[in-house]
Amino acid sequence: MGVSTTRPLERVEIDHTQLDLFVIDDQTGFPLGKPYITAAIDHHTGSVTGFYISFTPPSAFSVMECLKVAILPKVEINKIFPSVKNTWDVFGVFETLIVDNGKEFYSIALEEACIQLGINIQYAPPLQPWFKASIERYFSIINQKLLNGMEGKSLKNLGKFADYNPIKNAVIDFSSLVEIMHIWVIDIFHQTFKERIGDTPAEKWRKSVLIYPPLLPKSALDVNITLGLHDKRKIVRTGISYEGLIYNSSELALLRQKILDNPNVTIKIDPSNISHIFVLDPIKEEYFSVPAINQKYATGKTLFQHQVIRRNAREYAKSSVNMNNLMEAADRIEEVVEKSKHTSKNRKTQLSQKVARYEDISQNSVLSSKSNEQLNSIYKEMNRSPENLVTEVEKKIDPVSSDKIPLTSFYDEADDWSSDYSLGGINNE
């Protein structure tokens, strides 16, 4: 019993696991706990299409972040990590995404994103591990081969190692783990002969895409919008309210005047950056960026951070929560976080993992830091003047309504996409 495929990206399997390794904070050296990894595997070539490591438990967010990595070209990885010697050539929109029955795979955001990209979601039957054997095998190899012997690895059967404490023995910081994972995937896993495919994943991919070139959207920004959270909101005189924050701009006010009879619009939210949202213009059938009114508060914050702050503010506020309450709550939480960073190593790892999640210690933060101008250009592009961004977005993509298929135009086989993705995945014309 098994699965058969005839071409690359015909079938991609995705899943999560918690790594059997305690890692430490890059700055303080204190243990953070065991991070989670979400990974996607192309069944036909055995190649890893993408992975995402963070302290966020399996969620729609971690799925979306993994899909971004999986779909987009990884042209800057060798610049970010010079220790990686081979290239990660795997990219493209897949035909079918195989998932299990976790609630994160039933999210509206994931379903809509896959519709826009033309991806079919297929749920694995319960109690039939062979249905997604590729990803299960991959996680097994990670824990048995990559992490085996590393200081900080948790042992299921201590036996003669009864005195071994993985937390106290942890020496690998989080950013090093992200780099190690890239080296292992690109230089070891992809270069190792696999009997099932009769080749190495890297070579199988190279040969296969000569016959079946991968389908690639023409804009990385379009992919980021597509893989954002989806919601419906009403435009009022003050703008759009989302999670207690107000978003407004001259473009939004103009749109409101045009659709007064039905001012409800679709919005997309990037959970890693709440300084702006994307609003779908139902007339032009395109998204445009709308900034948060209070950029001092919103810039640099994730949706999770804001939700924690908002919850804290509610507990302290005697009446309704306002922006001052949020700013004060943010300061209180930051004090707790800083104190937690410098407490004893014996503190509970559950608390450490919560701090790591709040601080957004993740693969994204590592890549942004390591890549300097390359990957940070994406967020600078999004955070600068929204008025300028709207014009630039219109030049770069041919956006359509989130209810239409396909989401955007794709490259033809003969098109050269490399220059468009050479600066961290965004066309900077």
Range with the lowest mean pLDDT among 210-214, 233-237, 402-406? 402-406
Give the pLDDT band of residue 147 (cuts 50, 70, 90): low
pLDDT tens-digit map of 339-357: 655 554 445 555 577 778 7
Query: Taken in order 86, 369, 60, 95, is the CA torsion positive or negative?
Result: negative
pLDDT tens-digit map of 274-302: 999 999 999 998 999 999 999 999 998 99
pLDDT at 366: 85
pLDDT at 318: 55
**Between residues 424 and 111, which one has the greater pLDDT?**
111
pLDDT at 25: 80
pLDDT tens-digit map of 19-74: 888 887 877 777 788 899 999 999 999 999 999 999 988 999 999 999 999 999 99
Cβ of 87: how many Cβ atoms within 10 Å? 14
pLDDT at 391: 34
How far is the C-alpha of 293 from the C-alpha of 280, rounded, in Å? 19
pLDDT at 278: 96
User: Is residue 214 over pLDDT 90?
Assistant: yes
Q: Where are the beta strands (DSSP E) in 6-135?
A: 11-18, 23-24, 31-33, 36-42, 48-54, 96-99, 120-123
pLDDT at 218: 74
pLDDT at 45: 97
Range with the lowest mean pLDDT among 133-142, 212-221, 245-254, 280-289? 133-142
**Average pLDDT value for residue range 252-262:** 95
Query: Which residue intervals of 212-344 are DSSP H helices?
Result: 220-226, 250-258, 295-298, 303-316, 323-341
pLDDT at 163: 41
Cβ of 217: how many Cβ atoms within 10 Å? 23
**Average pLDDT value for residue range 159-188:** 70
pLDDT tens-digit map of 310-329: 887 776 655 566 677 667 76
φ, ψ of residue 230 to 5 degrees: the values are -110, 135
pLDDT tens-digit map of 97-117: 999 888 889 988 899 999 989
Range with the lowest mean pLDDT among 152-166, 185-199, 212-226? 152-166
120's tokens: 């079919």
pLDDT at 54: 93
Per the prediction, the chain carries an average pLDDT of 78
**Average pLDDT value for residue range 195-205:** 95
Q: All domains of the chain, ordered by start, with CATH?
A: 11-215 (3.30.420.10), 223-298+369-421 (no CATH), 303-359 (no CATH)
C-alpha triplet 44, 46, 47: angle, nearest 5°: 110
- Percent of the chain predicted with pLDDT > 90: 43
pLDDT at 377: 52
Helix (H, G, I), strand (E, B) or coil at 104: helix
pLDDT at 3: 80
pLDDT at 400: 34
How far is the C-alpha of 383 from the C-alpha of 80, rounded, in Å? 22
323-341 and 349-358 helices, crossing angle to 10°:
130
CB-neighbour burial class of residue 287 (10 A; exposed 0-12, middle 13-18, buried 19+): buried
Predicted model pTM: 0.76
